[in-house]
């Protein structure tokens, strides 16, 4: 039975993989270059500094607050609404004075009638530890995924999934570096979530590829993989589109506090959907996956036959 008779699209994904690889290579080169030369714009979580939350009786004028802080020679400030337009979050780079004196001088500068809700200080050493721990968290996640996929499928599938995940993480970080969007702990959490989302998509595709290898007499890998990608396309698109709708709502309506978090997830879901179709499947093709690799060994056959 043909794919058309089942209303399954017939798109030559595998035939276009060279163009996809060129596109991915360009994005990776730009991302790595930007991260290497421009770096990421780390937030207070990683660089250290002071965070002050203020409450106003009426709507706060952010531009006026920024102007007064600039006149007071406070450099590296970030002012944004926090929850509502009467609550303001001020982030400052590390200062020479204590956080108590710093908050007092800011209150005097901004005027009376302001409620100080919270003052937090993050030292540079803590920020450095968070940077190292965040990098290790991503590394451990990738190693765990490599082991899991290698046991569940085959080592070529494991390498394909890791290639797709590294591809997604580097490009997401690259976009943050190119656009100089603030990178904080919420963005790191979003990237770890993107790793899980992208892996889930890739596993679904790999499951169908393995099933097609075992259920067909076809021996060539390209048409088998192409068929699997078309069969899972509707599921992939529906999952991605519904996820994107939620993320767009968070991005535009969730406020500035979660703006970077929602932005990282938006970028990651788009790139992850693309990589699960093109990068992961292209990688296992390049590694020479074949039907023989999917067949159980003689020992496994005996164990299966011996089952009641």
Point out the domain boundary residue: 67, 89, 122.
Answer: 122
**Residue 13 sits in the same domain as residue 59:** no
Sheet with 49-55, side-by-side order of all strands = 78-82, 84-92, 49-55, 115-122
**Residue 182 sits in the same domain as residue 205:** yes
Residue 302 in domain: no
Residue 305 in domain: no
Sign of CA dihedral 239, 244, 245, 250: positive
Tokens of 31: 């991302």
Tokens of 261: 């978090």
**Residue 177 sits in the same domain as residue 236:** yes
Residues of the chain with pLDDT under 50: 1-2, 4-5, 298-308
Full residue range of the structural domain in which residue 156 is found? 4-40+126-297
**Residue 281 sits in the same domain as residue 200:** yes
CB atoms within 10 A of CB 263: 21
**Residue 101 sits in the same domain as residue 237:** no
**Residue 88 sits in the same domain as residue 154:** no
**Buried b / exposed e across 43-80, counting CB within 10 Å, b at 16+?**
bbbbbbbbbbbbbbeeebeeeebeebbeeeebeebbbe
Query: How many domains does the structure of the chain reveal?
Result: 2
CA distance 198 to 269: 7
**Residue 78 sits in the same domain as residue 199:** no
Q: Quote the pLDDT of residue 257.
A: 73
**Residue 105 sits in the same domain as residue 76:** yes
CA distance 173 to 188: 10
Q: Quote the pLDDT of residue 124.
A: 58
CA distance 291 to 156: 13
CATH, residue 149: 1.20.1640.10
Point out the domain boundary residue: 122, 146, 163.
Answer: 122
CA distance 2 to 275: 26
Q: Are 162 and 142 contacting, i.e. CB atoms less than 8 angstroms apart?
A: yes
**Residue 152 sits in the same domain as residue 220:** yes
**Residue 59 sits in the same domain as residue 141:** no
Query: 244 exposed, middle or buried (CB, 10 Å; 0-12, 13-18, 19+)?
Result: middle
What is the pTM assigned to this prediction?
A: 0.78
Beta strands in the chain (DSSP E): 41-42, 49-55, 78-82, 84-92, 115-122, 182-183
Tokens of 140: 């451990």
Q: Quote the pLDDT of residue 23.
A: 92
Point out the domain boundary residue: 85, 101, 122.
Answer: 122
pLDDT in tens, 213-271: 777 766 677 888 888 888 888 888 888 899 899 999 988 887 777 888 899 999 999 99
**Residue 140 sits in the same domain as residue 114:** no
Tokens of 81: 């609404």
Q: Quote the pLDDT of residue 175.
A: 93
């Amino acid at each position: 039975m043909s794919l058309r008779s089942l209303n399954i699209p017939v798109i030559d994904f595998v035939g276009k993989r060279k163009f996809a690889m060129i596109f991915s290579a360009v994005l990776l080169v730009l991302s790595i270059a930007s991260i290497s030369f421009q770096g990421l714009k780390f937030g207070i979580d990683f660089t250290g500094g002071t965070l002050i939350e203020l409450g106003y009786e009426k709507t706060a004028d952010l531009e006026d607050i920024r102007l007064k802080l600039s006149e007071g020679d406070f450099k590296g400030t970030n002012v944004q609404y926090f929850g509502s337009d009467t609550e303001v979050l001020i982030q400052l780079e590390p200062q020479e004075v204590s956080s108590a004196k710093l908050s007092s001088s800011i209150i005097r500068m901004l005027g009376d009638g302001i409620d100080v809700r919270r003052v937090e200080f993050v030292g540079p050493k803590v920020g450095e530890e968070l940077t190292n721990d965040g990098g290790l968290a991503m590394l451990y996640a990738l190693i765990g995924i490599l082991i899991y996929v290698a046991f569940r499928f085959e080592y070529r599938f494991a390498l394909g999934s890791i290639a797709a995940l590294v591809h997604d993480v580097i490009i997401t970080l690259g976009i943050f570096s190119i656009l100089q969007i603030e990178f904080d702990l919420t963005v790191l959490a979003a990237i770890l979530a993107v790793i899980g989302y992208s892996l889930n998509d890739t596993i679904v595709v790999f499951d169908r590829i393995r099933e097609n290898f075992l259920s067909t007499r076809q021996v060539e890998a390209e048409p088998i993989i192409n068929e699997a990608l078309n069969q899972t396309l509707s599921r992939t698109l529906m999952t991605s589109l519904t996820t994107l709708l939620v993320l767009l709502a968070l991005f535009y309506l969730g406020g500035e506090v979660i703006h970077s978090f929602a932005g990282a997830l938006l970028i990651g879901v788009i790139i992850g959907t693309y990589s699960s179709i093109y990068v992961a499947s292209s990688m296992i093709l390049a590694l020479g996956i074949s039907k023989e690799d999917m067949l159980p060994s003689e020992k496994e056959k005996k164990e299966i036959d011996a089952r009641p």
